[in-house]
Amino acid sequence: MTEHFASDNYAGICPEALHWFLEANASGHQPGYGEDEWTQRVSDRLRELFQTDCDVYFVFNGTAANSLALASLCQSYHSVICTTVAHIETDECGGPEFFSNGSKLLVAEGASDAARLGKLTPDAVEQLVTKRDDIHYPKPKVVSLTQATELGTLYTVEEVRAISAIAKRRQLRVHMDGARFANAVAALGCHPSDITWRAGVDVLCFGGTKNGLPVGEAVVFFDRALSEDFAYRVKQAGQLASKMRFISAPWIGMLENDVWLRNARHANAMAQRLHERIAGVPGVRVMHPPQANAVFAFLPRPAIDTLHAQGWKFYDFIAGGGCRLMCAWDTTPEAVDAFAADIRKACGA
């Protein structure tokens, strides 16, 4: 089997998700567009998981989840505060701006110390909100946090609360891009409700794909008033699956027996293992010890080229030329060890 460290979306479908995908297929004809029993069941499971009566929608991917969620929070003259490295800023091809008819993203430099890379700080949010209040500036309306961040760091419950407190004071909504929400919850060891609505998050884009689903993300509205007409946005954007059950049913496999957390814990542990094996290698400069499922490190350019020529796939353009070495739910210790050994050799160690 081939394994890579480029992205957790390189991994396949986990057995539990596949099982329920096949169960849904064995259930015969079912109503389309989310009116099926599977989608109802999974939505109820998510309400149980979060211990609140939230509104749940399923879309194909994270770009749509974020873009449509933000569009539902903003008018066209509003703005969304995020970091310079936020996926919504760098990797969604203007989707949030497009679907909101022009809402602007206001970027703040994330925290600069290594352990907080990629994170918004309360100060940065406060600064952006108070910078201008005239009619010529797009009115700040949302703070968007990525959990885990694009640079592999985590917001603690206290940090989310601190940012939410400012958001509340300044009448901003809080959006969480949780493409790797599972990895964050697993690493923090907190209850999923504590890092979301209990900490002031209004909408969570709960990633399933990178955690072992075939496809699909859940958009979870904790403030149900915000989801008014969301179904229409989903449909208009071409994100309403007619055979919705094949997106929703696999979530049963993830939620039953906390498979989503088990998958995430495994991916996180593999990142720890990789870190242990390469941290001391001369030429390797790890940016910060892994907090979730990726190791971020600077490697010498010739070593990167050698590793790529050997067939290892990983990104080398993240965070000012650093390499992102990403582990998935199915990354094996053997692959980690083989990769680490090749890194060591490529660095001449």
- Does residue 87 interact with ligand PLP by CB under 6 A? yes
**Pick 91 or 123: Cβ nearer ligand PLP:** 91
**Pick 183 or 227: Cβ nearer ligand PLP:** 183
**CB contact at 8 A, 175 and 103:** no
> For the residues of 202-226, what is the DSSP string, one character each?
SEEEEE-GGGT-SS-EEEEESSGGG
In the bound complex, what is the minimum distance in angstroms from residue 305's beta carbon to ligand PLP?
A: 25
**Pick 87 or 245: Cβ nearer ligand PLP:** 87
**CB contact at 8 A, 69 and 203:** yes
Which range of residues in 56-64, 102-110, 194-202, 329-337 is near ligand PLP by CB under 6 A?
56-64
| Cis amide prior to 124 (ω within 30 degrees) | no
Cα angle 310-313-318, degrees, rounded to a multiple of 5: 130
- Does residue 13 interact with ligand PLP by CB under 6 A? no
Q: How many CB atoms lie within 10 A of CB 98?
A: 14
> Hey, which residues between 215 and 234 contact ligand PLP (CB under 6 A)?
none
In the bound complex, what is the minimum distance in angstroms from residue 232's beta carbon to ligand PLP?
A: 21
Residue with nearest beta carbon to ligand PLP: 62
- Does residue 83 interact with ligand PLP by CB under 6 A? no
- Does residue 36 interact with ligand PLP by CB under 6 A? no
First-residue to last-residue Cα distance in the chain: 27
Which range of residues in 10-18, 31-39, 61-69, 291-299 is near ligand PLP by CB under 6 A?
61-69
- Does residue 63 interact with ligand PLP by CB under 6 A? yes
- Does residue 62 interact with ligand PLP by CB under 6 A? yes
Long-range contacts at 127-135 (CB < 8 A, ≥ 24 apart): 128/81, 129/81, 129/166, 129/170, 129/172, 130/170
User: One-letter amino acid identity for 323?
Assistant: C
- Does residue 211 interact with ligand PLP by CB under 6 A? no
Tell me how far apart the alpha carbons of residues 55 and 32 are, in angstroms, rounded to a whole number.
19
In the bound complex, what is the minimum distance in angstroms from residue 294's beta carbon to ligand PLP?
A: 10
In the bound complex, what is the minimum distance in angstroms from residue 92's beta carbon to ligand PLP?
A: 7
**CB contact at 8 A, 308 and 339:** no
> Hey, which residues between 142 and 181 contact ligand PLP (CB under 6 A)?
146, 150, 177, 179
> Hey, which residues between 94 and 133 contact ligand PLP (CB under 6 A)?
none
For residue 294, what are the contacts with CB-CB under 8 A and spacing of at least 6? 152, 271, 324, 325, 326, 327
Count residues binding ligand PLP (CB under 6 A). 9
Tell me how far apart the alpha carbons of residues 3 and 330 are, in angstroms, rounded to a whole number.
9
Q: Which residues bind ligand PLP (CB under 6 A)?
A: 61-63, 87, 146, 150, 177, 179, 209
